[in-house]
Structures are given as C-alpha cells and as structure tokens.
Amino acid sequence: MSRSATDLRDLRHELAGALRQARDRTLALVTPLDDDELHDQPIDFLSPLVWDVGHIACIEELWLVRELTGRPSSDPARDELYDAFENPRWVRGELPLLPRQEALTYLADVREEALRVLRDTELAHDAPLLAEGRVHRMIAQHESQHQETMLQALALRRGGHYLPDQEAPPPLLRPVDDTDRVEIPGGPVTIGTDDTRWTYDNERPAHRVEVAGFALDRFPVTARRYAAFIADGGYVRPELWSERGWEWRQEAGHEAPQGWEPAADRGWRRRRFGQLEPVDPREPVQHVSYLEAEAFARWAGGRLPTEIEWEKAAGWDPVRRRSRRFPWGDAAPTPERANVGMHRFGPQPVGSFPAGASAYGVEQLAGDVYEWTGSPFTGYPGFLAFPYRGYSEVFFGGDYRVLRGASWAVPAPFTRVTYRNWDRPYRRQIFAGLRVAYDLPR
C-alpha cells in the first residue's frame, strides 16, 4: 500500500531529525578541541578523532547518496583513506588525514547532498534500504557509534579538563543494597526481534528459547563492590581468573579498572576526561574488560550471565508473555528511566532510576554502562546479513564477547533490549561494567 503525501512528509521529517541530532552531538564533541587534539591518537586501537569525522562523512556519502542515486564516488582516494577494514585503528594515526577544516567541510557537504536526496527519493515499501527509512536510521546510528569511540579517546586525555555542558543528575531517590539479587524463573522466552526500523541484522530474527531459572544482580556491580574485590586480592589470586585472563593480567600488569589510582585516604580516585576525581562508590564500575569481569563474578560466587539470560531479565514481560522494547515497556526513554544520550558524561549511582526497572525488578539495564555477558558473538538461527556482511557477519566466531545494555554515551534508540554490542575480551576503553548471575539450587 502506498503512503500518503502527509505520511511521506512526516517520515522524511523524522529521518532528517534523526540525522540532525546525531550531527549536533558530533559537532558538540569536536568543537572544543584544537587541531592537535583532533589528530592525536591516544592508544593504538582508538582512531584520531579527525579520522572518525572523515569516516562518518564517507560512510554517509556511500549509503545516503551513492547507493540511493547510483552516482560514482566523489573521491576514490577518500574512500580508501576512510575504509575501516583497509586501515585498521593502529595505522590511522600515520595516514594523510584531512585537516580539521577540510574534514568538517566534507562532513557538511555530504550532509547537504544527503538531505537533498532524501527530499527527492520515494521511500518505497518494496525497496529494502528505503522502507521505513532503514538506511537513514542506520547511518544516524553509525554516527552515534563513532561518537562513543571518540568519547573513549577523550576519556583517556591527560591534558586539560574536557567535559561539555551536561544535565544535572537526578536525585538519588532511596538508599539501596548494591548486592541485592532478583530471581528470574525459567521458561520459554522470545529473543531478538523482527522489527527492521532501528535494529541491526544481528538482532534478528525473533526466536523462542528455553531458559533455566537463575538469579541476577538487581543493579550493575558498583565501584564499592569492585574495590572490595581488589582489596581481597582480586588481581593477585590466579584461582579467580581463567587461564587466558591470568596470562593477560600478568602481561598487562593491571591492578584496577582503567583510570583508577590509589588515593591518599586508601580509597580510589580516577582520571577521566583530563580530570582526577574521587571514585564514587555508588556508581557502576566502568572500564573493565571481560577478563576482569569474569574474575570478579567468580570472586562474588557467581558468573557472567549469558546474553539470553540478560535479555530475558531485561525485556521479557511474564504477564503479557511478550518482549518489551525497553526494560520498562515500549515507551521511549526519559531522564527518569535511563542515563543515555551523553547528557551526564558518566554513570549515575545505582538506585537512581527505579522507573526504568524491568518487569522482574532489575534496574539500570539501559544506559550507564554496557554489561559483559559470557556469550561469544554469533548470529541467531535464520540470520540474514543486511545491508552488507561487514557490519556483523565477518565478526561471528571470532575472539569477541557480547555486551548488552547501553552506555551513558549512546542515544535513546540503542537502549532497546535487543541491541548487541561486542568487543575483544581484553578491551577496557569501552564504557563497560557488569552484573553477576547465579545458578539456583537444583
């Protein structure tokens, strides 16, 4: 059935708005930085920020201009320069990257053309890329994902304090027990989704899975609990670590989460965004690797949840026997439900968002920090790559573990319970923490 002119106008307006919001966040990140900071590469697996700027423009040109019009590339040399597979992160600092102003001009010129194409293109139901604006939503999300990696680099800066304007945190509504657990009963559950508007191919298709009962931390693991793990010899007791994890810990020499250093009062302080500050013991711990998360879970007497367990606890409604889009229901995220969208530039204390609890009463599953699961990254039964194999499929079966939830650095659409992130087990720069699962007595 064809769309009415009003429906098409509204859809174009929605898509243009999503693209504009993503661009506003990108520009807010880079505007305070000087040229040297944009070209700096803080660690070898994070790109110089100016590479991300050019890459965002290049991918937008590819999908929102060339793929939709059949036009040739405006500059094949740029395509090669900003190809993420041809130029892995550790070489990007040596590439002849566009200077700041040229990169920003490229970004603006591509956006102007992309919006012109959007105005002139029929968003047909039978065109896979265009139905419901799928490709435009994909590109808005792609830009948002690069903002998150840019923030990971900025969090490591050792120069002046970098922290754009942010909203005041919500009041902490009540004291909570940060070790509280919730029992999740066993039974069938629908995992994944068949929605194609905002979701990526690795979230599809929806399928039924039988899940055994388990218990799960009500809250993400706090800095207080993680400090207790350290104080109890967590980083010097090999029996708490997997064989690979212990080898990594010895080789890397880590003794605490990224950015943590001992404070004079025997507590901890952390360096992030160029500032040294006390660690808030109520906040979810952030910047730990899968290998560290795995060791903490063993110390706590549990394990990391599988991603299927995590999604059941986050999204399953046992009364209506269906999946929710977000932990609290299908309504969009609000500041009372979740800490997302770069509004606060860090996680908030546990207990801050009771309105965001899942049907089982598990809190802060959306926003604040990603959470490591024990699951390797692979496709669901019936997986179909879309719109290209390079987004998900090429990573299946590799050395990756799935992270669930969403961090404070991502926009609202990423807080959907089906969203899957992934990274290598030893990576710590991501805004990731954990919560612990526990087997129930049989």
Owner of token pair 């010895």: 250
Contact predicate 263/230, CB 8 Å:
no
Q: Facing residues of 417 across strands?
A: none
Complete domains list, the chain, with CATH? 5-155 (1.20.120.450), 181-223+284-439 (3.90.1580.10)
Distance CA 55, CA 76 (A): 13
Distance CA 421, CA 280 (A): 26
Of the CA atoms within 13 Å of residue 193, those in its CB half-sphere come to 21
Terminal CA-CA length for the chain: 54
How confident is the prediction along the chain (442 residues), in pLDDT tens digits per residue? 456 778 888 999 999 999 999 999 999 999 999 898 899 988 888 999 999 999 999 999 999 999 999 999 989 999 999 999 999 999 999 999 999 999 999 999 999 999 999 999 888 777 889 988 999 999 999 999 999 999 999 999 877 777 766 666 666 667 999 999 999 999 999 999 999 988 999 999 999 999 999 999 999 999 999 999 999 999 999 999 999 999 999 999 999 999 999 998 888 999 989 889 999 999 999 999 999 999 999 999 999 999 999 999 999 999 999 999 999 999 999 999 999 998 888 999 999 999 999 999 999 999 999 999 999 999 999 999 999 888 999 999 999 999 999 999 999 888 999 999 999 999 999 999 999 999 999 8
Instruction: Pick left, alpha or beta for residue 188 (phi over 0 → left; psi -120 to 50 → alpha; otherwise beta).
Output: beta
Q: Determine if the pTM surpasses 0.85.
A: yes
Distance CA 337, CA 415 (A): 11
Contact predicate 358/182, CB 8 Å:
no
Which residue blocks in 281-366 are alpha helix, DSSP H? 290-299, 307-315
Choose among 381, 430, 382: nearest CA to 402.
Answer: 430
What's the Rg (C-alpha) of the chain? 22
The per-residue pLDDT for 200 is 96
- B/e letters for 363-394, b = 16+ CB within 10 Å, e = fewer, are bbbbbbbbbbbbbebbbbeebeebeeeeebbe
Inter-CA distances, 274 with 154, 156, 157, 240, Å: 8, 7, 5, 33
Inter-CA distances, 62 with 89, 122, 149, 151, 423, Å: 20, 18, 21, 25, 25
**Size (the chain), residues:** 442
Distance CA 28, CA 341 (A): 13
E strands of 5-107, at which residues?
Answer: none
Contact predicate 373/194, CB 8 Å:
no
Distance CA 16, CA 23 (A): 11
Contact predicate 217/435, CB 8 Å:
yes
Residue 210, classed as helix, strand or coil, is: strand
The per-residue pLDDT for 157 is 80
Q: Is the peptide bond before 205 cis (omega within 30 degrees of 0)?
A: yes
Inter-CA distances, 74 with 19, 113, 309, 316, Å: 21, 12, 47, 47
Distance CA 157, CA 159 (A): 6
Contact predicate 391/138, CB 8 Å:
no
By CB neighbour count within 10 A (0-12 exposed, 13-18 middle, 19+ buried), where does 179 fall? middle
